[in-house]
């Protein structure tokens, strides 16, 4: 069976506890990027983390 059938997976976000969908499209993308693992947190939390990190960096830069 080399033609593995992918399905949308429901994952509970470890950050906010909400259930989110790891879609077939995302799974393919992850595979393409070489990631073996499924995401642990939802897109919103991942985005928020990224934004928080980015703004922290920006504010440090601005305060100089």
Interface contacts to Zn ion, rule CB under 5 A: 13, 15-16, 41-42, 45
Q: Which phi and psi (to 5°) does residue 28 adopt? A: -65, -40
Shortest approach of Zn ion to residue 35 CB, angstroms? 18
Shortest approach of Zn ion to residue 46 CB, angstroms? 8
Residue closer to Zn ion by CB (options 30, 46) is 46
Answer whether 38's CB lies under 8 Å from 9's CB: yes
Shortest approach of Zn ion to residue 16 CB, angstroms? 3
User: How far is residue 25's CA from residue 43's CA, in Å, rounded to a whole number?
Assistant: 14
């Amino acid at each position: 069976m080399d033609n593995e059938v992918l399905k949308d997976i429901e994952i509970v976000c470890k950050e906010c506890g909400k259930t989110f969908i790891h879609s077939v499209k995302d799974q393919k993308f992850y595979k393409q990027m070489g990631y073996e693992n499924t995401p642990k947190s939802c897109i919103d939390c991942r985005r928020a983390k990224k934004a928080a990190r980015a703004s922290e960096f920006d504010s440090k830069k601005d305060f100089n």
